[in-house]
Each structure stands twice: as C-alpha cells, then as structure tokens.
Amino acid sequence: MFFQHVYDKSLAQASYFIGCQAKGEAIVIDPQRDIDVYLNIARQNNMKITHITETHIHADFLSGSRELAAVTGAALYLSDEGGEDWQYQFAHTGLKHGDKITVGNLILEVLHTPGHTPESISFLLTDTPATDKPVMVFTGDFVFVGDIGRPDLLEKAAGLVGTQEKGAQQMYASIQRFAQLPEYVQVWPAHGAGSACGKALGAVPSSTVGYEKIRNWAFQYSDDEPGFINYLLEGQPEPPKYFAMMKHLNKVNRPLLVEVPKYPKLTKEQFLAAAQNGLKVIDARNKADFAQAFIPGSINIQGNNSFSTWAGWILNYQEQFIIVADDNQIEDLTRKLMRIGLDNVYGYIPDVHSLDIPLEQADVIGLDTFKGFVGKEDVQIVDVRGVSEYNAGHIRGAENIFVGTLQDNLDKLDKNRPIVIHCQAGDRSAVAYSLLRRNGFDKLKNYSGGYKEWSESGNETVR
C-alpha cells in the first residue's frame, strides 16, 4: 500500500493519497482545490488516480474533487446519507453506510458518522491480501486528534436554526459506535491544530482509536449525554464568514479551475485606475512593513498561514481586489485564495513606493504608552480577539469586538474619541487597525504587544 498525507498549513486541512502499488490504482480523500500536488504524487509513483471521495460537504475550504475528476477521469464517490437536504447536486456515485470502495487490493468501507454534518461519512481501510483486518480510518471532521467536530457550524455559519442540538445528539451516538472499532486502528482526520472546525485539535497528524479513547475528552462522557452536549457546544470559536459560501459551492454545480491562475503584475497606471474605480487593496506584507508605509484605505492581511482565513472574513465573492505582495510570494497567496474560492484577483503590485502617491503610517504603541490609556474614561480600549479568549482573560475596561465582525460593528465605536485596539500578540490588531483606518477612524492606536505582553508583564487581568 502507498500512503501520503497531504497537509495544507494555511487551513490546517489534511487530504490523503492512498494507492495499491500492485495494481497502480489510487484514491484521493478530501482533495484541496490546487490539484497539481496529487497529479505530481501519481506521476512520481507511477500510479493512476481512479477514485476520488470526500468525507462530507466541507465548509472550511473549496474541495478540489470535481477539478481532480475532470483532469484524471477518476470516478467520484460521495455521501448519499443525511436526507434530501444534504445531497450533492452534481453527478457522482452515491455512498451509504456499509458500502465498499475497491481500489486495487484496498477496500474502504463506508461508515455513516453524522454529527458534524448529517451526511458525514468515514472510511475504514483494509489492506488486502496483507490482512483482513482494518488498519486505518479516515474520519474527516468527525474525530480529530484530541477533539471532535463541532455540530454548530450549520446554525452559526449557514443559518440553519435548530441544527446544533440535533447535531450534538447525533455526534454522541456516532462516538459510541466509533469506540467499538479495534483500538489499534489508526485515525487520520481532515484537520489539525489551528482549524476552526473544533476548539482543541491536537498538533500531531494522526492517532489511534485506543489512544483517543484515553485522551480525547469526547470519550469520557460515555454515560452522560447532556454533559457531552453542553461541553461540545460551549466555547467554540467564531466560524469564519466564508464558511456559508463554501457549504454552498461544495454542494452545487460550479465552474471549475483546474490550474493555478497567474495574475498580472500591474503597472502604476493600471493600479491607479483600478483604485480610482474602488477596488479593494489587500496588503499581504509583514505588519511592521505595512505600519511604516501603506496605501490609504488598504487592508493589511499578512501573507502567513492565516492569510486565507482573514481574507475569507473580510472579502466577499463578488468584488475584485488587488494584492500587494512580492513577486516570489504571489503564487503562494494565489493558492491560499483559490482554496477558499477567492478567484477575483485583478492583479498585484510588489512595491507601494513605486506608485508615487502619498502613503500613510500606522500609530503603533508599546506597553508603557498603552498603560497611560488604561482606565481613562474618554478612551475606548477594544480587544479584537475571539469571545472565548476574551472571557478567559482580558484587560480591565476593554470592550470585545472580534476582528472578523468588526466591519459589522462600527456603530459601537466613536470616531470622536481616542481608540486603542489590541489582540493577543499583534497580528489580528494589524488587520483591525487597517479596517478602522479604511472606515475613517483617525484617533486610533494599535497596542501591538497585545494581551500576551500585558499579562506576561504582570499587569492586572480580569475574567
């Protein structure tokens, strides 16, 4: 058996290339949208991708299953569980609980594991003729290392009221069935630490059924369904705004993008004309470089592993935008954007100084200066971290407005009063600072050291 774990750090998303070397056939589970990684694996290992499948209708990334099927001619196998509201709306071979997919000498048995979503399935892999016992289970967003999938996304991200309680009940039942699998079976989930699909995902890529029964909190509530449901639903992170669009696009027929696009480098004249027409500018430079000199109205989303997540929070899927990034960075950013379906890039510029326009500077302050604002009645101190982070500990007097929903809560801020923003360690507050400046907030300061520096320096915090 050939096995390769493909991991996208930017979305903490895992996909799997599994092949039968004897027959030269392979299956890909939960592929990302830039599919060249799987084509390269197949070519380098003299295999043909003959099967493609998914564990559920994803919310956190735009699946590349249909792109991969279009290029390779492989058969597409997708869940037909969950009822009529949870069916893929394009051609595929449907899967039900107990069905089996044969890939050369490999057999993948379908397990219906609802909870995260109603149609969620897992795949129990047996490598014959080496053994007639299962050796791996691919759990999607069902069981993670140290955590399980959240059942509240359909309600919070897609607006389907009343689904989180039912999902939690289904998850409890699925967990009980999962616990009956042999303890030696390896667990390979669809996400790792940093994903918004759970609240306490482990950083290691895989586990075993036995290990999860010992260390995963979900298996400690075997006789307490109400306690399980309460713990599962409380303290989940805010689901990114783009999740609803991903749910839709992964379910319906949509245009395919089978190659990584190449966006043009804009001339000064092209950029100025586009900016004059109102195109947003996303500046992907380091926050320190942005603070030194930025295009008025531009939004700072650093081109790190969180780039696509914050772009999905802030951009919509109808508007074009421009990227500020180095030539050697643009392909990586393009891949990050296409993985969540943000394809509306007009072009990019590598150097803001070449535009010959007035640039602005951010007002970034340190700990000592920040202390002078704490406790002042005429100053608004705004903590832009998530609600659960804020509740766990915050600076006295700070208001909580999460950066992802900041644009929807501008009415809570007073442009006539000094405003000091902070997050945990400066990355999110850099995004928030640029958003507020774009919206006309001029009496604004960014305490970049954030809650981390404040608390580690021994200053007072409250819960």
Between vectors from CA 406 to CA 343 and to CA 11, what angle results, nearest 5°? 45
Query: CA-to-CA distance for 200 and 424, rounded, in angstroms?
Result: 18
Per-residue DSSP letter, 204:
S
One-letter identity of residue 380: Q
In this prediction, residue 375 has a pLDDT band, given cuts at 50, 70 and 90, of very high
Do 129 and 49 share a structural domain?
A: yes
Do 370 and 344 share a structural domain?
A: no
Do 415 and 317 share a structural domain?
A: no
Do 339 and 291 share a structural domain?
A: yes
Question: How do residues 35-51 score in pLDDT, each as one tens digit?
Answer: 999 999 999 999 999 99
- Angstrom CA distances, 149 to 7, 142, 214, 220, stand at 18, 5, 18, 16
- Lay out the sheet containing 321-324: strands in order across: 299-300, 280-283, 321-324, 345-349
- pLDDT score, position 199: 79
In this prediction, residue 189 has a pLDDT band, given cuts at 50, 70 and 90, of very high
Angle between helices 225-233 and 163-178 (to 10 degrees): 120
Please tell me which residue, 202 or 454, carries the higher pLDDT value.
Answer: 454
| Contacts of 162-168 spanning 24+ positions with Cβ under 8 A | 164/233, 165/229, 165/233, 167/114, 167/115, 167/116, 167/117, 167/118, 168/115, 168/228, 168/229, 168/232, 168/233
- Domain of residue 46, CATH code: 3.60.15.10
Q: Name the least confident of 96-105, 201-210, 319-328.
A: 201-210
pLDDT of 217 > 80? The answer is yes
- pLDDT score, position 197: 80
One-letter identity of residue 234: E
- pLDDT score, position 398: 98
Do 348 and 369 share a structural domain?
A: no
Residues 6 or more apart whose CB falls under 8 angstroms from that of 106 comprise 1, 18, 19, 20, 27, 125, 126, 127, 128
Question: How do residues 143-180 score in pLDDT, each as one tens digit?
Answer: 999 999 999 887 887 777 778 999 999 999 999 999 99
Residue range 410-421: mean pLDDT, rounded: 97
Quote the tokens at residue 303: 């081109």
Quote the tokens at residue 430: 């850099």
Query: CA-to-CA distance for 20 and 434, rounded, in angstroms?
Result: 51
Domain count, the chain: 3
- pLDDT score, position 203: 86
Question: How do residues 297-319 score in pLDDT, each as one tens digit?
Answer: 999 999 999 999 999 999 999 99
Query: CA-to-CA distance for 285 and 274, rounded, in angstroms?
Result: 20
Residue range 2-9: mean pLDDT, rounded: 97
- pLDDT score, position 194: 81
- Domain of residue 299, CATH code: 3.40.250.10
Query: CA-to-CA distance for 81 and 71, rounded, in angstroms?
Result: 27
- pLDDT score, position 137: 98
Is 461 part of any domain?
Answer: no
Do 218 and 165 share a structural domain?
A: yes
In 3D, which of 167, 131, 132 has the Cα closest to residue 148? 167
pLDDT of 63 > 90? The answer is yes
**What does the chain come to in residues?**
463
- pLDDT score, position 291: 98
Do 148 and 225 share a structural domain?
A: yes
Query: CA-to-CA distance for 385 and 434, rounded, in angstroms?
Result: 16
- pLDDT score, position 343: 96
Residue range 241-254: mean pLDDT, rounded: 95
Is 257 part of any domain?
Answer: no
Verify whether residue 423 is a known catalytic residue: yes
Do 181 and 278 share a structural domain?
A: no
Do 227 and 80 share a structural domain?
A: yes
Query: CA-to-CA distance for 270 and 373, rounded, in angstroms?
Result: 43
Is 462 part of any domain?
Answer: no
Give helix then strand counts, H and E, for the chain. Answer: 15, 21
Do 197 and 126 share a structural domain?
A: yes
Residue range 408-420: mean pLDDT, rounded: 97
Do 115 and 31 share a structural domain?
A: yes
Catalytically annotated residue among 423, 430, 435, 444? 423
375 half-sphere exposure, CB direction, 13 A CA radius: 5
Write b or e for each residue in 191-228: b if 16 or more Cβ atoms lie within 10 A of its Cβ, otherwise e: bbbebbbbbebbeeeebbbebbbeebebbebeeeeeeb
In 3D, which of 234, 6, 25, 257 has the Cα closest to residue 138? 6
Query: CA-to-CA distance for 282 and 455, rounded, in angstroms?
Result: 31
One-letter identity of residue 75: A
Do 395 and 330 share a structural domain?
A: no
Is 255 part of any domain?
Answer: no
pLDDT of 393 > 80? The answer is yes
- pLDDT score, position 81: 98
Residue range 175-202: mean pLDDT, rounded: 92
What residue numbers bound the domain in which 419 lies?
A: 364-456
- Angstrom CA distances, 231 to 165, 228, 242, stand at 12, 5, 25
Is 139 part of any domain?
Answer: yes
